[in-house]
Structure 1
Amino acid sequence: MPWRSRVARALQERASRPPRRVAVTGLGLVTPLAVGASKSWELLLQGRSGVRKLVESDIKEAPENFDRLAVKIGGCVSNAEIEGQYPKSLPRNLQFAQIAAKEALGQAKWHPSSELEKVRTGVSIGAGMGYPSAFYTVSNLIGGGRERRVSPYFIPHILSNMASGLVSIEHGLRGPNHSVATACASGAHCIGDAFRMISYGEADVMVAGGAEACIDVLSITGFSRMKALASEYNEDPALASRPFDEKRSGFVLGEGAGVLVLEELEHARARGVDVLAEIIGYGRSGDAHHMTQPSKNGSGAYLSMSAALADSGLSTSDVGYINAHATSTPLGDRIEQEAISSLFGGERLGPWVSSTKGAIGHLLGAAGAVESVFSVLALGSKRLPPNVNLRGAEEDLKGRVNLVGADGATEAEDLEVVMTNSFGFGGTNSSLVFGKDASALGG
């Protein structure tokens, strides 16, 4: 048979196969609250904040410029908790990714040893900006005539796919090696794309998520000039990030990583490993509106959420909780609430909604991955994380969106399905739907 005919037949056979179901079997987190998924989760449920006042040593590349920064707060990862795990010369975002991936693989008990296992295991970890401080350092060296002091690792260190590359190298994973840079939706897109890869047979296991480290002079200055950051809380940082609150004024930069081990459901069952959740829906959309502002009618968010629901085969009444993108900006939070109300409203109030950015700030390209981990943990524990710093919702939205309170976790005994949203500059949107386990689909 000619090779073209063989390829055509293989494609036809693949297209006729139903998509495979995808389980979550491992979780890893590095957040401003703590290093480790369970530790971060428990502090989050207590309503603790990982946002603090910055000091000069937090600004690695140019501490002499610290006093000139308009914003001096951030969600920093504790240096003490990551000390000694990887070389200090390795950018923080890459260290975060490797730490979170190692934790997730450990929980999943997946350490492929055979060639087949390695080839069938891939990595998909994204970043919105990566490690901007490297650009600052190198531009200063070149500007000062010190080109010979530029590290030969400068280019590899700034590549947005390098987190995937290093996790692949460390664990010998030779399946799909993938990464996307879709601003604040990067981590969620990487998880969704990995879900698709397993669904359609390109891999059996994927290590997926996002990592970011942007607490630096360039990022703080750039976002400050956009008037995107909360700038009036330099003396009271724990109150600065306040999604959905009527007094919100901007987001707080955070850093960290979130990684999930995704696995074909039957593959996980055959190994006898715990299935933490099942990914059952993935939706994407574009606003086609503005570089940085979401469309005012919320159509981008609405399309993303409705696409994820359609992919899952579920209805709006099945979703019990939404981990919202809400970053604490006046416009973005309101538009997301309008979109949620439009899709899930009607005779019922709709699912519970909270944004965990109130506790950890906005982790940019890692946000969707960290929030996916929190969503899976909410399913497993049947507890909903609080809207930290939510003291007063907008008057005209009261009764339209079912916001979780600010003080501690909310019990949700009937929770079976959750959704998480991630939206980014350029109008890129992503929504993921997780089910408690196979029973969520009747399997």
Structure 2
Amino acid sequence: MTDFKRKRVVVTGVGAITPIGNTPTKFWEGLLTGKNGIGPITLFDASRHKCRIAAEVKGYDPLDYLDRKDANHMDRFAQFAVSASLQALQDAQFVISDLNAQQVGAIVGAGVGGIKVLEDQQEVYLTRGPDRCSPFMVPMMIANMAAGVTAIHTGAKGPNSCPATSCTAGAHAVGDAFRIVQRGDAQAMICGGTEAAITPLSIAGFAAARAVSTRNHDPAHASRPFDRDRDGFVLGEGAGILLLEELEHALSRNARIYAEIVGYGMTCDAYHMAAPRPGGEEAARAIQLALKDAALAPNQVSYINAHGTSTQANDATETAAIKKALGESAYKVAISSTKSMTGHLLGGSGGIEAVATVMAVANDQIPPTINLANSDPECDLDYVPHHCRAQIVEVALSNSYAFGGHNVTLAFQKFKN
């Protein structure tokens, strides 16, 4: 793709259903105040589990966005996606009609999909027999249904897909949507990620893999990215959605612009199913590719929203990757992990973290990394501990990494016409 063909792409709307707020405004307020979204699991009886804590979405009612019949035929992850997408369209004051429907698409990533439906229907199968399984089981379970029902409920008839790349799914969705608008295949794209995997089997599986925190006695301090005493991530749920729009189209309708998306880099470790490649070489290359795509230098980066999972391997590797990618500028950039507040939304994390990154650019405020009490010699960068920071944010990156070795970096810049 040659540069002269590229269209500029801007963010004109955001939507968020999260453990710390169910609107973009509440989510952003929660980030700036260091709100903790983690507590004991209430979605099921977790008393037999090694991990009994999670970051649940509270106070969410799907009937605020959907009629009862439609809501009943969707898994929670799909409900989140539709709700956040409708928020983003409303936030952008963007109307999809018969006149533009084919020029608006939806890409919504999900790493797990409808695991709650699968678990429930397995129980029906075992206790009541195969003939009693729901005819809606498969369409409620499959991960692509978030993108499908988002299109159904918004009317978007343009490009539609669902990255299922585990914890980079939401970031891949934003990057892929960026490319679609950039090359002129759509005027606007609804994009991001969603997940609702706080279920008995999911928690058991992550605990068996020793991936999650077991700080059950102190859930408020369980997610502690870059801290010496971190012991695993905390599973979260929710959805984060951006409305990306071709610049000239946005200007023609006097849209408010949060930021311009300017870069997308993705690589693979090709190393291990679950562990990152030591040294972070390919994660660093994703950062470098995003900067190259955006024609930006390392010293221009103001802020990085880190993947920052609160696992021993990830946080040290991501720190090494940032140093490798930015060189001496790594020590001058502000970095934070919003997972310290929201937990890890798996396929939804890239979506809500893209929203957080865009809001940082728009508001010149950097969310903190809470619970960073004890420094780790391997994690020696500026992680904005405890409190938010007022700072001009000209360029911001959002990093996402995943099982399978996926690495994604998105680059956003303050909009200048």
TM range (shorter): over 0.9
**Separation (CA, whole Å) in 2 of partners of 1:240 and 1:187:** 24
Q: Is the 8 A contact 1:321 1:418 kept in 2?
A: yes
TM-superposed deviation, 1:167: 1.1
TM-superposed deviation, 1:85: 3.5
* Pairing 1:78–2:58 present: yes
Q: 1:127 is matched with which residue: 83, 88, 110?
A: 110
**Separation (CA, whole Å) in 2 of partners of 1:18 and 1:253:** 41
Q: Deviations over 1:287-327 (max 9, x none)?
A: 01000000001012101101101100000011100000010
- Which moved further from structure 2: 162-171 or 21-30? 162-171
**Separation (CA, whole Å) in 2 of partners of 1:325 and 1:182:** 15
Query: Which residue does the alignment assign to 1:10?
Result: none
Query: Which residue does the alignment assign to 1:170?
Result: 153
**Separation (CA, whole Å) in 2 of partners of 1:273 and 1:346:** 38
TM-superposed deviation, 1:396: 4.7
**Separation (CA, whole Å) in 1 of partners of 2:155 and 2:116:** 29
Query: Which residue does the alignment assign to 1:53?
Result: 40
Distance 1:177 1:347, change over 3 A: closer
* Pairing 1:94–2:78 present: yes
**Separation (CA, whole Å) in 2 of partners of 1:324 and 1:198:** 25
Q: Is the 8 A contact 1:33 1:43 kept in 2?
A: yes
TM-superposed deviation, 1:202: 0.7
Distance 1:130 1:120, change over 3 A: same
Q: Deviations over 1:126-155 (max 9, x none)?
A: 100012122211222222242232111111
**Separation (CA, whole Å) in 2 of partners of 1:350 and 1:80:** 39
**Separation (CA, whole Å) in 1 of partners of 2:19 and 2:175:** 24
* Pairing 1:24–2:7 present: no
Q: 2:199 is matched with which residue: 194, 199, 216?
A: 216
Query: Which residue does the alignment assign to 2:98?
Result: 114
Distance 1:69 1:323, change over 3 A: same
Q: 1:69 is matched with which residue: 37, 49, 63?
A: 49
TM-superposed deviation, 1:84: 4.8
Distance 1:373 1:425, change over 3 A: same
* Pairing 1:427–2:414 present: no
TM norm structure 1: 0.90
Q: Is the 8 A contact 1:344 1:351 kept in 2?
A: no
Gaps of 5+ in 1: 1-13
Q: Aligned ranges for residues 227-306 of structure 1 at < 5 Å?
A: 227-231=210-214, 233-306=215-288
Q: Is the 8 A contact 1:126 1:180 kept in 2?
A: yes
Query: Which residue does the alignment assign to 1:206?
Result: 189
Q: 2:28 is matched with which residue: 18, 41, 52?
A: 41
**Separation (CA, whole Å) in 1 of partners of 2:391 and 2:320:** 24
Q: 2:327 is matched with which residue: 328, 332, 345?
A: 345
Gaps of 5+ in 2: none
Q: Aligned ranges for residues 402-417 of structure 1 at < 5 Å?
A: 402-406=382-386, 408-413=387-392, 415-417=393-395
Determine what percentage of the aligned residue pairs are the same residue.
39
Q: Deviations over 1:338-366 (max 9, x none)?
A: 11112223277231111000001000000
Amino acid at match of 1:75: A
SS of 2:194 mapped into structure 1: strand
SS of 1:102 mapped into structure 2: helix
Amino acid at match of 1:44: L
TM-superposed deviation, 1:67: 2.1
**Separation (CA, whole Å) in 1 of partners of 2:48 and 2:109:** 31
Query: Which residue does the alignment assign to 2:171?
Result: 188
Amino acid at match of 2:252: A
**Separation (CA, whole Å) in 2 of partners of 1:268 and 1:74:** 39
- Which moved further from structure 2: 72-81 or 295-304? 72-81
Distance 1:95 1:348, change over 3 A: closer
SS of 2:107 mapped into structure 1: strand
Distance 1:430 1:138, change over 3 A: same
State the Cα RMSD in Å.
1.5
SS of 2:15 mapped into structure 1: strand
**Separation (CA, whole Å) in 2 of partners of 1:130 and 1:436:** 33
Q: Deviations over 1:89-110 (max 9, x none)?
A: 2211111101100110001111
Q: Is the 8 A contact 1:186 1:366 kept in 2?
A: yes
Distance 1:421 1:16, change over 3 A: closer
Q: Is the 8 A contact 2:322 2:330 kept in 1?
A: no
Q: Is the 8 A contact 2:267 2:407 kept in 1?
A: yes
Q: Is the 8 A contact 2:226 2:379 kept in 1?
A: no
SS of 2:139 mapped into structure 1: helix
Equivalent pairs, count: 413
TM-superposed deviation, 1:420: 0.3
